[in-house]
Amino acid sequence: MTDAVTTAALGVAGLLAGTVDAIAGGGGLVSVPALLWAGLPPHLALGTNKLQSCVGTTMAVHRYHAAGLLDLRSTRVAVAATAAGALVGTVAVLRLDDSVLRRVVPWLLVPVAAWVLARPRLGDDPAPPRSGAVPFGLLAGGTLGFYDGFFGPGCGTFWTAACIRFRGMGLARATAFTKVVNLTSNLAALAVFAAMGSVDPAPAAAMIVGQAAGGRLGASLAVRHGAPLIRVVFAAVVCALVGRLLWQSFGGG
């Protein structure tokens, strides 16, 4: 059980994580450390994080859909491939060491950060797609679904960048699409974590109210202010992810 101070702190962390995640992804930068601070061991923190983050992501999906930024039919192939990939990835992470990914992923995120920062008008306008919806959904869904189930940091960043680059989406629509597939991989991973007993409902409940409010708030801000706000938060999240992963990989624990 969590005491009153811990419960309040987790609620605030859920609000901040949900807001950031709905705008540009990366809410795990806040929520996972908060759960570790509350005393949960790593695998339990990851499973519990999936439960609480599903709430905020669901609110964000609803808000983006209501704003007309999301065609759910166009996500069907990506959703199916993401669910399959995430299930396999989550089973794998419970059996294997993720230390290799901890060292490789920061260097994959660096060029993404540079790409975002070097293009101040990134995602302002849609462009002709470079890939069809079906091959894109199968390849990106299977690959990034597995990655999100196995490790996760930066997955939303990779999804948004892929949607802009290969499907020609504007930044707001790419972010909306990303929320749908993120919710899919979170739900698939949660099913595995729950089956393995790696979910603690008490701290998750403490964060859920904040996550629900944050998911709606963040998506509303993104809808209202569009690409300029998303781009700033997106770049900040990518830089924070790179810094945190490098620190963890080279002696930061």
The tally of domains found in the chain comes to 1
Q: Taking the C-alpha atoms of 191, 109, 233 and 43 in order, what is their torsion angle to the nearest 10 degrees? A: 30
- What's the mean pLDDT when you consider all of the chain? 85
Comparison of pLDDT for 85 and 95, the residue scoring more? 85
Contact present, 163 and 112 (Cβ < 8 Å): no
**Residue 128 in this model has a pLDDT that exceeds 90:** no
Comparison of pLDDT for 111 and 128, the residue scoring more? 128
Whole-structure pTM over 0.85, yes or no?
A: no
For residue 43, what pLDDT band results from cuts at 50, 70 and 90?
confident
Contact present, 24 and 175 (Cβ < 8 Å): yes
Comparison of pLDDT for 251 and 61, the residue scoring more? 61
For residue 123, what pLDDT band results from cuts at 50, 70 and 90?
low
87: CB partners within 8 A, 6+ apart: 149, 188, 189, 191, 192
What integer pLDDT is reported at residue 36 of this predicted model?
87
Q: What is the distance between the alpha carbons of residues 6 and 16, in angstroms, rounded to a whole number?
A: 15
Predicted confidence (pLDDT) per residue in 184-221, tens digit: 999 999 999 899 898 999 999 999 999 999 999 999 99
Q: Which two tokens stand for residue 123?
A: 């995602």
**Residue 138 in this model has a pLDDT that exceeds 90:** yes
DSSP 8-state code for residue 124: S
What integer pLDDT is reported at residue 4 of this predicted model?
86
User: Domain range for residue 54?
Assistant: 4-252
Percent of the chain whose predicted confidence (pLDDT) is above 70: 87
**Residue 116 in this model has a pLDDT that exceeds 70:** no
What integer pLDDT is reported at residue 2 of this predicted model?
58
Contact present, 156 and 108 (Cβ < 8 Å): no
Contact present, 219 and 173 (Cβ < 8 Å): no
Q: Which of 121-130, 170-179, 216-225 has the lowest mean pLDDT?
A: 121-130
Q: Which two tokens stand for residue 81?
A: 């491939």
Q: What is the distance between the alpha carbons of residues 47 and 35, in angstroms, rounded to a whole number?
A: 10
**Residue 100 in this model has a pLDDT that exceeds 60:** yes
Question: Left (φ > 0), alpha (ψ -120 to 50) or beta: where does 191 sit?
Answer: alpha
